[in-house]
Each structure stands twice: as C-alpha cells, then as structure tokens.
C-alpha cells in the first residue's frame, strides 16, 4: 500500500488533483483512472475522482496499482514492420493488433507492445494522446483480444476523436465465439460493471442491488446478433459504443454464454484455440467535423476461423 496524509496545502482539493500532487510525476488523468478503478481510498472508504479531501485525511493507493508515469515506449522498428495497417491517413491510422500483443507498456523498458511499434512507424505519435505510454491511442484491447485499434497522428485528430468516443459517435463491433445454448438470436444486456473487489484481474457484473450499492458500478450496454450456430456454439457479432474493460466478455458470461476459452469468466475450451475468442472487427466514424469519416472492417483471424471451421469436421 502507498499511504499519504493530506497536508494543509491540499485541504479542500479534489482527490485526483491532490493525488497527482502527492505522487511525483503522476498525471491528473492517471489519478482519475486510479480512482475510477477503485484503487484509491480515503480514510478507508472508496472515493470518486471528484471527491474533495480534507487536511490529515489518509489517502491509500492499492499496492498493485500501476502509478508509474514515466513509461515511454521505446521505438521498435522490427516490430513496426510486422504491423497490419488497415487505414493510414495523415491524421490517423487503424491497425490490426494480433492476439498476444499488449496494447501499451505498463513498466519502464517493457517491449513487444503495439505502442512500441506505433512510435517507430509514426514518431509524431509520441507527443499525441492521453499519456506517453499510450501514443496516439484512442482505446485499448485486452492482450489476448485481436482486432482493430484506432490511433491519432495529430493532436487535433486526437481531441476530435476523443470527443467522438465520449459522445458515442464511434461505432465498434466485435466477432466472438461463445456457448450459444442459452443465447437468444438477438438482444441487449445492460448490467452495470465494476472492478471486482477481491480479484483485480476480473470485472464484476452488478445485478443484485447489494452489489450496485457496494461497488459504485458504471453503466454498460452490449447488443448482439447471432451470425451462425454450430452445435452448442455460436458465432456472434456484438456492439458496444464504449466497451469498457472486459465488458463484452463479462456480459456474455453473465448470460451463461461465456466466450470460448475465456478461463477468467468460465468459458469452455474450444479445440484449436489457445486464447479467448474475441476479435474487434469493425470501427467507423460517420459524424464528420474536423476529422473525415472512415469505416474499416476485418474478418475473423485465422485462429478463430480455424476453430470455427473445425466444428464442421
């Protein structure tokens, strides 16, 4: 645990500003993320990012929280050469991240991430984005999730697209393989989500009022349509405007339709697949202002396609 006592100079300040002042080099944006993730407590209680602190209160940051702020991806030209570029413009780029590649580094010196490749191919991205470790990146995918990632090459494009994400003007769709036995052909699930209070690796679906009251969940909505069924399995297209951390994975698990090979949420194994079966297949922007519209699609990756095809053998 990292413990801090609020000094007189920060009496009455917002929690995120106070935390950024107490931790050398910590940005306000990262301080907000830590509080949103439930990793910061004030006098033993979870507090929101806009909470106000008082002198002598104790701020505690969870021991496993990553608060490193000087993580700057090292350009990796060799990795950049392997990038699959789906759209390249002067203001933005859309790349296809393979499964197994982290989107951005967490620790200093970490390599092998999409960010390492991006700053090598597009050095101007180093000065664009939320923070140094996420150059130009507008969103992230889980390490084992494959698919389309949008990154801005200019500050103007980044700010416009960030606003578009907030206002749900960015359309994102995903392809997944799941247990389809209890899944309707179409539908929408809107259970709110929170970070799991006992297992930081997981996200908690808050259905019971008790969980809602205890965990301060965030709204989340996922829609789906079944594309095809093979035996107990289903190939599904899902959409989520914001798609917060693990949203699609945990929403489907909550409906007894966990993704294939998603061990974290009880997914059943599927032959020829070694990771959870989720692929970001579509991203589009149709509300032009300072950024021209775009639409990019990508089919199932080879490992998911092979696993699906094998069900007909």
Quickly name the fold that domain 77-167 has.
Pseudouridine synthase (3.30.2350)
Q: Which two tokens stand for residue 224?
A: 């789906």
Query: How much is the mean pLDDT over the chain?
Result: 89
Q: What is the pTM of this model?
A: 0.80
Query: Is the distance from CB of 311 to CB of 231 less than 8 angstroms?
Result: yes
| pLDDT confidence of residue 46 | 78
Quickly name the fold that domain 2-61 has.
3.10.290
Q: Which CATH number fits domain 174-279+305-310: 1.10.3720.10, 3.30.1330.40, 3.30.2350.10, 3.40.50.1820?
A: 3.30.2350.10
φ, ψ of residue 214 to 5 degrees: the values are: -85, -30
| pLDDT confidence of residue 28 | 74
CA–CA separation, 49 vs 33, rounded Å? 8
Q: Which two tokens stand for residue 85?
A: 């570029």
| pLDDT confidence of residue 128 | 93
| pLDDT confidence of residue 5 | 87
| pLDDT confidence of residue 82 | 96
Q: Which two tokens stand for residue 248?
A: 């699609």
Per-residue pLDDT in tens (0 to 9) along the chain, 313 residues: 678 888 888 888 888 888 888 876 677 777 887 887 778 888 888 777 678 888 888 888 876 566 655 578 999 999 999 999 999 999 999 999 999 999 998 777 889 999 999 999 999 999 998 888 899 999 999 999 999 999 999 999 999 998 898 888 999 999 999 999 999 999 999 998 887 777 778 888 888 877 677 777 888 999 999 999 999 999 999 999 878 889 999 999 999 999 999 999 999 999 999 999 999 999 999 887 789 999 999 999 999 999 999 998 7
CA–CA separation, 210 vs 15, rounded Å? 26
| pLDDT confidence of residue 1 | 62
| Positive or negative torsion for Cα 35, 41, 43, 46 | positive
Residue span(s) of the chain under CATH 3.30.2350.10 come to 77-167, 174-279+305-310
Q: Which two tokens stand for residue 6?
A: 């609020």
Residue span(s) of the chain under CATH 3.10.290.10 come to 2-61
């Amino acid at each position: 645990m990292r413990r801090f006592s609020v000094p007189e100079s920060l009496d009455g300040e917002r929690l995120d500003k106070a935390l950024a002042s107490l931790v050398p080099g910590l940005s306000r944006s990262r301080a907000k993320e830590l509080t949103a993730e439930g990793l910061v407590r004030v006098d033993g209680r979870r507090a929101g990012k806009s909470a106000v602190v008082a002198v002598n209160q104790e701020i505690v940051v969870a021991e496993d929280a990553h608060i490193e702020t000087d993580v700057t991806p090292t350009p990796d030209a060799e990795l950049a050469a392997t990038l699959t570029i789906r759209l390249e413009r002067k203001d933005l780029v859309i790349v296809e991240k393979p499964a197994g590649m982290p989107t951005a580094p967490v620790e200093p010196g970490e390599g092998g991430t999409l960010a390492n490749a991006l700053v090598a191919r597009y050095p101007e991205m180093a000065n664009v984005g939320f923070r140094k470790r996420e150059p130009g990146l507008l969103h992230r995918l889980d390490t084992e999730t494959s698919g389309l990632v949008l990154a801005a090459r200019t500050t103007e494009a980044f700010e416009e697209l960030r606003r578009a994400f907030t206002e749900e003007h960015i359309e994102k769709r995903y392809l997944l393989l799941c247990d389809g036995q209890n899944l309707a052909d179409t539908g929408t699930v809107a259970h709110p989500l929170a970070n799991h209070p006992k297992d930081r690796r997981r996200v908690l679906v808050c259905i019971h009022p008790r969980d809602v009251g205890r965990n301060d969940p965030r709204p989340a909505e996922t829609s789906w349509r079944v594309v095809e069924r093979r035996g107990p399995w289903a190939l599904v297209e899902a959409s989520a405007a914001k798609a917060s951390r693990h949203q699609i994975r945990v929403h489907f698990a909550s409906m007894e339709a966990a993704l294939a090979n998603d061990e974290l949420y009880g997914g059943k194994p599927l032959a020829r697949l070694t990771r959870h079966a989720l692929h970001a297949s579509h991203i589009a922007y149709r509300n032009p202002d300072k950024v021209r519209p775009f639409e990019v699609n990508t089919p199932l990756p080879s490992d998911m396609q092979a696993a699906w095809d094998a069900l007909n053998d």
